[in-house]
Amino acid sequence: MSRKITLFTGQWADLPLEVLAQKAKQFGYDGLELACWGDHFEVPRANSEPDYTGKKLALLKERGLGVYSISNHLLGQAVSDNVDERHKSILPAHVWGDGKGVNERAAAEMIETARAAKKLGVSVVNGFTGSPIWHLLYSFPPVPPKMIDDGYAKFARQWKPILDEFQKLGVKFALEVHPTEIAFDIVSAERALQALDYHPAFGFNYDPSHLGYQGVDYIAFIRKFKDRIFHAHMKDVHWSATPAEAGVFGGHTNFGDARRFWEFRSLGRGSVNFELIIRALNEINYQGPLSVEWEDIGMDREHGAAESAAFVKRLDFAPSKVAFDAAFEKK
């Protein structure tokens, strides 16, 4: 199959890109999905230093790697969130500032991200949106429908100007559907699209893990949004076949706590059926990269990244171009 197998660098931002690139090649990857934190891809430098993106591309090319998307999850989270002190730890100092006006500065930086992506030669920026209504997830005290309507309207006001700039640049934004975002399952993803009037620059970074442990049909998601899947994460998660002490919401436990109902796992070691995913991606003719987002609190990450690359390469296959029983037909 011609799909590229890439490694998302977000969980490796403690390593210099030069070091990680060498490791990724040894692990068996075709390229990297560059995170916009650490030194992997710095948006302000990409837009201010004429040779910045060229040097990044040259570094990857020397190691036989390509780049097909970048990701700015941390910055995107601050566009629509109700910002508080937690955001300070994930945002650049120039976006956090004094903690006021963060939504607006984050929005401006997302537009800068699209410009940097274009300079790098990629057409997809993955990320989060944040949500002004995530705190209303459970409807008690009872949540009037207008509060939810207003939340989606606010999200649209914040993101439409960003997406308009993305469209002008020929770059698409792919939201990773995920708890704490404006879209976290199929129904909320559809509502986000409706709020944006189906903006052509807005779609999804498909990630089955965040759907699976919620009980959402992660195969139906592919078919439902077949024209809006701009990128795909390969990420596994285990969820328990029996009730647990800490349920879907986690019970304020840390990852690795044995009482949890679900836990991220290295690919092939969780509950996600990747065979069905590959078949569904073939059905919709998805030709983009299959990007491994590796997270497993119980495993050495270099071992996990290497086995995950091999897992995806073994599993990925091209669709048939002929019906298997066509040879039986009489001419």
DSSP assignment of 6-75: EEE-GGGTTS-HHHHHHHHHHHT-SEEEEESSTTS--HHHHHH-TTHHHHHHHHHHHTT-EEEEEE-HHH
- What pLDDT is stored for residue 1 in this prediction? 52
What are the structural domains of the chain? 5-328 (3.20.20.150)
Distance CA(270)–CA(224), nearest Å, equals: 24
Q: Would you call the peptide bond into 144 cis, given omega within 30 degrees of 0 as the criterion?
A: no
- What pLDDT is stored for residue 327 in this prediction? 66
pTM score, whole prediction: 0.96
- Separation in Å, CA 225 to CA 50, 205, 206, 300: 38, 11, 10, 35
The DSSP code for 328 is G
- What pLDDT is stored for residue 320 in this prediction? 84
Distance CA(195)–CA(157), nearest Å, equals: 9
Per-residue pLDDT of the chain (331 residues), as tens digits, is 579 999 999 999 999 999 999 999 999 999 999 999 999 999 999 999 999 999 999 999 999 999 999 999 999 999 999 999 999 999 999 999 999 999 999 999 999 999 999 999 999 999 999 999 999 999 999 999 999 999 999 999 999 999 999 999 999 999 999 999 999 999 999 999 999 999 999 999 999 999 999 999 999 999 999 999 999 999 999 999 999 999 999 999 999 999 999 999 999 999 999 999 999 999 999 999 999 999 999 999 999 999 999 999 999 998 888 776 666 776 6
